[in-house]
Amino acid sequence: MPNPNSFNITTFLKALIRPAKILLSKLIRLFQYHNYDSTNYWKQRASCAGELAVMWQNQKYNDLYRRLQSKIISKYVLCMISGQRVLDIGAGIGIVSKMICDINPNLQVDAVDFEEMMQIARSNLEYSNVNFISSAAEDFLQSNYKYNLILSSGCYSAIRNIKSLEKSLDNAVQMLDENGIILMIDPLHRWNYLARAKYNSQDVINYLSMKGLKISKKSGVLFWPFREWLAQSKMSDESLEKNFFLGEHLLRILGKHYWADYKILVFSK
């Protein structure tokens, strides 16, 4: 009969396999940028259950981020007058469009994303003031009217083809009302470890400045070391919330833009 207190090298090595794989994958991300067809990737992600289609595995973390996201968006949506138009570009399954309508139900919202995402958004939202449009961001150019607010919540940064990304930005400039604003809440990075598209916030500022837009706000949300730690973790309830807000506190101390995973950029004409 084996001694339960004896050291079992096989069991020990097996226990190391998963953390070793995780560590190796993170080390690889430091030196190797993984590029892929982001269009097909997000179309496939649409089949995931609930917010997994667009967010992280830890639903509590997602909820906490949505609270901050709503607070950021509210500043720009609450002051808009009845009938003004919002473009929710890369609307996903409709969570942000719903958020906009809940904040200010008197606005007209165009939610734009791939058909696979729009199918879910249509089933999730029953708002008469939301228009669901199936299109890639780089292909969407509304010519019948202008938008008072164009919102990208993780859309532009998800377009890994830089020419397509810049075409999307070009479209946004053309669709923006003379007194409108573009609000980005996007993980914009060039560093391999964090980059979705290899295009950082300064790249966006430089590009839109060439198109005649002015940057009026530069900030950020989600302290990236804690986002990396918590978003895919199994941590829950009070421990997660405590660490989430500790991360945001550290972000305020260290620099809300530089240390943020999601950069906040606001542009106007």
Residue that the structure tokens 């008072």 belong to: 148
CA-to-CA separations, 5 to 2, 8, 15, in angstroms, rounded: 9, 9, 17
Q: What is the pTM of this model?
A: 0.90
* Domain boundaries defined on the chain: 35-268
- Topology of domain 35-268, CATH: Rossmann fold (3.40.50)
Residue 48 DSSP symbol: S
Q: What is the pLDDT of residues 146-170, one digit of tens each?
A: 999 999 999 999 999 999 999 999 9
Average per-residue pLDDT for the chain:
92
Select from 154, 147, 190 the least CA-distant residue to 171. 147
Cβ atoms of 216 and 266 closer than 8 Å: yes
pLDDT values of the chain reduced to their tens digit, one per residue, 269 residues? 555 555 567 765 666 566 666 656 666 676 778 788 999 999 999 999 989 999 999 999 999 999 999 999 999 999 999 999 999 999 999 999 999 999 999 999 999 999 999 999 999 898 999 999 999 999 999 999 999 999 999 999 999 999 999 999 999 999 999 999 999 999 999 999 999 999 999 999 999 999 999 999 999 999 999 999 999 999 988 999 999 999 999 999 999 999 999 999 999 99
Q: ∠194-200-203 over CA atoms, to 5°?
A: 165
What's the alpha-carbon Rg for the chain, to the nearest Å?
20
